[in-house]
Amino acid sequence: MARSIRRQLPDEDIIYFGDTARVPYGNKSRAAIVRFAREIMAFMTEHRVKMVVVACNTASSLSLPSLKKAYRVPVIGVIDPGVKEAVRVSKSGRIGVIGTRSTVASGAYDRELAKFGPPYRLFSKSCPLFVPLVENRFSNDRITYEVARRYLKGLKAKGIDTLILGCTHYPILKTVIKKVIGNVRLVDSSSAVAGEVKRAFLEKAPEACRRNRRGRMKCFVSDDAEGFRRIAGMFLKEKINVKKVAL
């Protein structure tokens, strides 16, 4: 996600916050996630950011309305751009989404797709083992293929033609998911979100994008930087500067 945004808005500085002391969010309650998200928003506003991207599908699903209501700074989530992209590419209207247990239970994707009405229908499935499999480097392992077959069997039977990867970690499993689910379009929301961020920027602060130096990216984490580097290396392909902070 951060990588896509950097590609779209190379001049902008990015403040990235990873809540490594409390991840994973995927099985936690709305109340906990809203509280965590508000604490992170407070951190972001202290850094006087111009815009916040909630780049976690669980946090987007559960905290976005509450954040939008509470803060003046524009807040962009990852649900809406993923759904729009799925609607754009789906031919049959039969769209699948996979995510964490809390994302699926929130109904956020259902509500978003319902806005488009027929023929669009959503089929969802939580895949709670995918995050630990990615984080423990089983991404290309036959164990992960077996888990994926188990999780995706039902969606396959529904005859979906498009599948939204509704969790930040799932794009790492693209090859596995593609092989298991067959001829289905996979929607990785990150480029859709980056497009949305750029549009919102141009609308609200057109001058913001014109500068003559490459933007900087600063990463902050709530627990040791070491564990974060282990995971972040899979996603970001540049050297990163990480600092631990207490929320």
Query: Cβ distance 60 to 93 under 8 Å?
Result: no
Quick one: 86 or 180, whose CB is closer to a copy of itself? 180
Give the shortest CB-30-to-a copy of itself separation in angstroms: 8
* Cβ(90)–Cβ(162) below 8 Å: yes
Contact flag: residue 21 with a copy of itself (CB under 8 A) = yes
Do 124 and 97 contact (CB within 8 A), yes or no?
yes
Of residues 24 through 63, those in contact with a copy of itself by CB under 8 A are 27-29, 31-32
Position 147 contacts a copy of itself (CB under 8 A): yes
Distance CA 130, CA 113 (A): 24
Check binding of 191 to a copy of itself (CB under 8 A): no
Q: Is 127 a catalytic residue?
A: no
Q: Is 143 in the site for a copy of itself (CB under 8 A)?
A: yes
Asked if residue 247 binds a copy of itself (CB under 8 A), the reply is: no
CA 196, distance to chain mean position in Å, is 13
Only segment of 52-60, 153-161, 200-208, 222-230 that touches a copy of itself (CB under 8 A): 222-230
- Residue 121, strand partner residues: 94
209 is catalytic: no
Contacts of 162 (CB under 8 A, 6+ apart): 86, 89, 90, 94, 95, 96, 184, 185, 186, 187
Cα 219 to Cα 47: distance, rounded to the nearest angstrom: 12
User: Closest distance between a copy of itself and the C-beta of residue 51, in Å?
Assistant: 28
Applying CB under 8 A, the residues found at the interface with a copy of itself are 20-22, 27-29, 31-32, 128-129, 132-133, 135-136, 138, 142-143, 146-147, 150, 222-224, 226-227
Q: Which residues are catalytic?
A: 56, 167
